[in-house]
Every structure is written in C-alpha cells, then in structure tokens.
C-alpha cells in the first residue's frame, strides 16, 4: 500500500465534529470537476492512492476518469464497500425491482436468480458475493489493488462472531478481483484477534488511531500494545481526532507508531492537503534518521 492515502469524506459533507463544516463542504464540492481537481492536486503533491466509498457520485466520477487515459492508468483506488445508505435510498425511490436493475452487474435475470436462490437457501456467502460484485461494478477497468470492507459490516460480523463470512470475503476478493482484502473497524485489536483465529495473517486493517484515543475502542494503550506485539498492516484514519487535535503533534504521534503502513486523511483545501502531507514526510524522515543512527 501507499504510505499516504487521500480519502473522500469531505466531498460528501462528512465531518465528525461540525455540522457547519459539513454543509460548507457539501456546497464547495457540488460540482464533479471540483472533486476531480482536488483529487488530482492531492496525488500531485504526494498522496499515493484515493480511498473512497461506493457513493453514487463516485460512479459518475469514474465515468469521467475512464475517459482520461492518463488519469485512469495512474490513479489507484481503494474502494470501501458497501455504501449502505445508497441501497436504503434506492429502495425508497426505485422499489425492489428498480434497485436490482440499477445496481446488479451483468445479466439482470441471472443476478436476480442467484440472489433469490441464495435468499431461499439462507446462503449468505452467495449473497455477499453478489453484493460485492454490484458494489465494484463502478470500478470496472480501473486499478483497485486493495478493497476494504466498511466498518458497519466488519464490526457487525465481529460482534456476531460470523468468522466464516469474514473468511469468505477475504478469499473472494483475492480470487475474483486479484486484490488485497482490507477491513475498516472501530475495534482493531478485537478484529485482529478474530482474523488470526481464522488463519488470516498480517491483515490490512484501517481504524481510528490518534493521539487523543478518539474512537479507539478499548483505549489508546491497547492499540499501542497491539501494534507493538502483533502482525498487522495498519492504516491510520481520523489521525486528527476528527479535526480538533493539533496537526503537528498528531502526525508526529502516528508516525512514531510501529506497523502503521499507511495514513489516511481527507482535506477540502489545498493548504490543508499540503500541510498534512508535508508533516507526514517530515516525521517519516525523522523516524528514518533515528533508525539509521540506532543501527550504526
């Protein structure tokens, strides 16, 4: 994975601490061109990949990106699925048949039959595969080397101890999409334990990791100990504690932790994009110098 990942929350008015900022961001990014320009700016200044939900607007953006051969060939997506609100809204507006026509890939009758038979047999694995195919349809012919399961599903499966579904997701992403499976969670230590139990070693796990312990289930100390003692490819998100923490101290803290392979951040202004990436590079460089001095 790339060290620096640019996220999409700001494009859809998602802000964890301020409704006013959410409204401001929604207005700012009402045009697709503004989103594309922001993504291009972040990648041009050091971000390596774009991590995004399967929001309907991403589907529209991808159509534009596919027409730009240079951007399509160079941009790496890390999709996060499923986007639950999309299906809830579609059922309300389009009904069941309309939702199936809108989102299921390939032959509509075959997809419907597969889903229907799966439902009748309580075949959750088949339904999961159908949902994955539907969600990833918008990324056809684009680079998706890592595909993440959203925390709303990951943590539900974790809480219900549905290990077989997690394992089946892992295997399906590798087999069908030749990609690495990733997991977003609000409880990285517990998820890592469960994944190890089902034979998934050194998994990619994205979770809140920050200096304040913001949304770190079990507490910051537990996360720090897990990172020191376990094998995991960590992706740190919400590194600024939802936007309220001191940026420099926050980035310094995250960069000092072991097993953090990537740092995910979102920003709506060019200034914040440049500042965040500069801080990551600054403290990565300091860590590298410290390691070299110890080795000598």
Q: What is the CATH number of the domain that holds 216?
A: 3.20.20.100
| Residues 252-267 pLDDT 10s | 999 999 999 999 999 9
SS3 at position 206: strand
Residue 96 has pLDDT above 70, yes or no: no
Dihedral, CA atoms, 121, 122, 123, 124, nearest 10 degrees? 160
- Confidence at residue 112, expressed as pLDDT on a 0 to 100 scale: 54
Residue 284 in any domain: the answer is: yes
Residue 90 in any domain: the answer is: no
Residue 121 in any domain: the answer is: no
Number of structural domains in the chain: 1
- Confidence at residue 292, expressed as pLDDT on a 0 to 100 scale: 41
* Domain encompassing residue 170: 4-83+142-295
Query: What average pLDDT does this structure show over 119-127?
Result: 69
Residue 75 has pLDDT above 90, yes or no: yes
Residue 57 in any domain: the answer is: yes
Residue 113 in any domain: the answer is: no
Rounded to whole angstroms, the Cα distance separating 295 from 162 reads: 44
Q: What pTM, to 2 d.p., does this model score?
A: 0.87
Residue 131 in any domain: the answer is: no
SS3 at position 265: strand
- Confidence at residue 27, expressed as pLDDT on a 0 to 100 scale: 78
| Residues 109-120 pLDDT 10s | 455 555 565 554
Residue 134 in any domain: the answer is: no
Query: What average pLDDT does this structure show over 272-286?
Result: 95
Rounded to whole angstroms, the Cα distance separating 24 from 84 reads: 24
Q: Which token pair is 197?
A: 């139990």
Residue 130 in any domain: the answer is: no
Residue for token pair 């995991």: 232
Other CB atoms within a 10 A radius of the CB of residue 67 amount to 9
Residue 229 has pLDDT above 80, yes or no: yes
Residue 88 has pLDDT above 80, yes or no: no
Rounded to whole angstroms, the Cα distance separating 93 from 98 reads: 8
- Confidence at residue 123, expressed as pLDDT on a 0 to 100 scale: 75
């Amino acid at each position: 994975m790339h060290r620096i990942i640019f996220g999409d929350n700001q494009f859809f008015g998602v802000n964890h601490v301020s409704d006013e900022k959410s409204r401001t961001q929604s207005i700012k990014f009402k045009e697709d061109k503004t989103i594309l320009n922001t993504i291009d700016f972040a990648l041009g200044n050091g971000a390596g990949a774009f991590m995004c939900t399967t929001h309907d607007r991403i589907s529209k953006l991808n159509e534009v990106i596919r027409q730009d051969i240079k951007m399509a060939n160079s941009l790496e997506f890390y999709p996060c699925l499923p986007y639950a609100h999309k299906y809830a809204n579609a059922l309300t507006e389009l009904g069941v048949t309309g939702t199936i026509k809108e989102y299921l890939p390939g032959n509509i009758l075959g997809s419907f039959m597969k889903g229907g038979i799966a439902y009748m047999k309580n075949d959750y694995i088949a339904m999961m595969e159908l949902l994955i195919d539907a969600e990833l349809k918008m990324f056809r012919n684009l680079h998706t080397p890592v595909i993440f399961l959203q925390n709303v599903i990951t943590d539900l499966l974790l809480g219900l101890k549905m290990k077989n579904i997690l394992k089946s997701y892992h295997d399906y992403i590798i087999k069908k999409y030749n990609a690495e499976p990733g997991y977003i969670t609000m409880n990285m230590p517990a998820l890592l334990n469960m994944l190890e139990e089902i034979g998934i070693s050194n998994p990619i796990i994205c979770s809140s990791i920050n200096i304040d312990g913001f949304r770190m289930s079990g507490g910051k100390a537990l996360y720090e100990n897990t990172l020191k003692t376990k094998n995991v490819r960590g992706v740190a998100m919400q590194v600024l504690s939802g936007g309220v923490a001191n940026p420099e101290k926050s980035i310094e803290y995250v960069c000092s932790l072991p097993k953090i392979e990537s740092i995910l951040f979102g920003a709506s202004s060019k200034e914040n994009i440049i500042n965040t990436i500069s801080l990551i590079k600054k403290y990565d460089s300091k860590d590298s110098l410290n390691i070299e001095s110890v080795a000598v």
